[in-house]
């Protein structure tokens, strides 16, 4: 196990993986834990040509008292089912997926780091395996899970990141794949992220197809804290229904704060900024948990948010969610499950 200080995100992998096959004639079969190893894939497999590829991101934590727990595994398993339906793929039944993950984590439990802020990131992945070049859904699939010990996703850690407001590229469109964790969505995002990085920005803020409403930030959902309202874009079919987005909505309501899911434009955000009523902006995701945004800029404006430092709402949410994950705060919503 590498030193936790060097973990970063997704660089190291544990010793084992879970694999499970599907064929129309057999259903799901041959579930197994194997050494972490390269896959043998027919060069004609549908995943390689027509992008039948979906993934999930979830985490296993070593709690302060020593228990190993999964965070909301059903949420991810259900989202995989929904994504598989949209991509005309077969997804493993929820119970089988979670049981495979449990057994894998038990075998590789030495890979779950114990330091606060670190965890074992799990990457369930579903790919079309049938060797056939006609364009139609595959009749064979492979579901596998790999594990990566991780700490912070961004090199900024829990410090605010700088975001470029993207006004050329889009990530997803209504009726497309945006609400799924299709690998294709991430392929679509790379160009804009690269251009932003060259300008010194960690990621981009995605807008809808007409660039008139806000959708996501980088690989995360996004929240705006105004003086009298906290807003996240309503799920509209092109926004990913993030697990931490759902946690934040539940926690803010529980805290009695006024949170709204609705359409939101950069014009409205800029107007609030000018009036001084934009207090905080943060992204939410499994990898980064809560990632404050310290700057939102484009070719025509630059907004420094909360003086470029992490705000109180982002801090409270981060502490609350990680407190539940590490077993230091009461799990009032039943989000953690012992391995």
Identify which of residues 278 and 288 has a Cβ nearer to ligand COI in the complex: 288
CB of 41 to ligand COI, least distance (A): 22
With contact defined as beta carbons under 8 Å apart, do 98 and 124 qualify? no
Identify which of residues 286 and 297 has a Cβ nearer to ligand COI in the complex: 286
Residue in the shown chain whose Cβ atom is closest to ligand COI: 285
CB of 330 to ligand COI, least distance (A): 24
Identify which of residues 70 and 288 has a Cβ nearer to ligand COI in the complex: 288
CB of 218 to ligand COI, least distance (A): 8
**Residue 14 is encoded by which pair of tokens?**
């544990």
CB of 32 to ligand COI, least distance (A): 26
- Measured N-to-C along each axis, helices 312-325 and 243-254 cross at an angle, to the nearest 10 degrees, of 110
Q: Among candidates 86, 118, 103, which has minimal Cα distance to 33?
A: 103
CB of 289 to ligand COI, least distance (A): 8
167 φ, ψ (degrees, to nearest 5): -125, 15
58 φ, ψ (degrees, to nearest 5): -145, 170
Identify which of residues 105 and 303 has a Cβ nearer to ligand COI in the complex: 105
**Residue 103 is encoded by which pair of tokens?**
């057994």
Identify which of residues 220 and 225 has a Cβ nearer to ligand COI in the complex: 220
CB of 139 to ligand COI, least distance (A): 28
C-alpha angle with apex 174: 171 to 177, nearest 5 degrees?
60
Identify which of residues 57 and 233 has a Cβ nearer to ligand COI in the complex: 57
The Cα 127–Cα 141 span in angstroms is 6
CB of 13 to ligand COI, least distance (A): 14
Binding residues vs ligand COI (CB under 6 A) = 57, 219-220, 285-288
The Cα 337–Cα 88 span in angstroms is 30
The residues, any chain, with a CB within 8 Å of residue 254's CB and separated by 6 or more, are 332
Identify which of residues 181 and 303 has a Cβ nearer to ligand COI in the complex: 181
Is 317 in a helix, a strand, or coil? Answer: helix
* Beta strand spans in 200-273 (E): 203-207, 214-217, 221-226, 230-233, 259-262
């Amino acid at each position: 196990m590498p030193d936790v200080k060097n973990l970063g995100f997704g660089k190291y992998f544990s010793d084992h993986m879970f694999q499970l096959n599907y064929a129309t004639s057999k259903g799901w079969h041959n579930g197994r834990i194997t050494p972490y190893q390269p896959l043998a894939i027919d060069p004609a497999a549908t995943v390689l040509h027509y992008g039948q590829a979906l993934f999930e991101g979830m985490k296993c934590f070593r709690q302060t008292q020593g228990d190993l727990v999964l965070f909301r595994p059903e949420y991810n398993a259900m989202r995989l089912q929904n994504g598989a339906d949209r991509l005309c793929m077969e997804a493993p039944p929820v119970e089988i997926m979670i049981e495979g993950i449990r057994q894998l984590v038990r075998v590789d439990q030495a890979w779950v780091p114990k330091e606060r802020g670190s965890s074992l990131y799990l990457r369930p992945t579903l790919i079309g395996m049938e060797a056939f070049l006609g364009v139609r859904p595959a009749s064979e699939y492979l579901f596998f899970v790999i594990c990566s010990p991780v700490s912070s996703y961004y090199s900024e850690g829990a410090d605010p990141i700088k975001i470029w407001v993207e006004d050329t590229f889009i990530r997803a469109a209504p009726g497309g794949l945006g609400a799924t964790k299709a690998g294709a969505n991430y392929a679509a995002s790379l160009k804009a992220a690269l251009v932003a990085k060259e300008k010194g920005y960690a990621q981009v803020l995605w807008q809808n197809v007409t660039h008139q409403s806000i959708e996501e930030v980088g690989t995360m959902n996004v929240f705006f804290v105004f003086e009298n309202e906290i807003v996240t874009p309503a799920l509209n079919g092109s926004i990913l229904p993030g697990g931490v987005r759902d946690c934040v909505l539940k926690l803010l309501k529980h805290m009695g704060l006024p949170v709204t899911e609705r359409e939101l434009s950069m014009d409205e955000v800029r107007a609030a900024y000018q009036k001084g009523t934009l207090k905080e902006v943060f992204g939410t995701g499994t990898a980064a948990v809560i990632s404050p945004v310290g700057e939102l800029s484009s070719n025509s404006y630059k907004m420094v948010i909360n003086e470029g430092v992490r705000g109180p709402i982002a801090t409270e949410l981060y502490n609350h969610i990680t407190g539940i994950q590490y077993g230091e705060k009461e799990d009032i919503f039943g989000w953690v499950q012992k391995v």
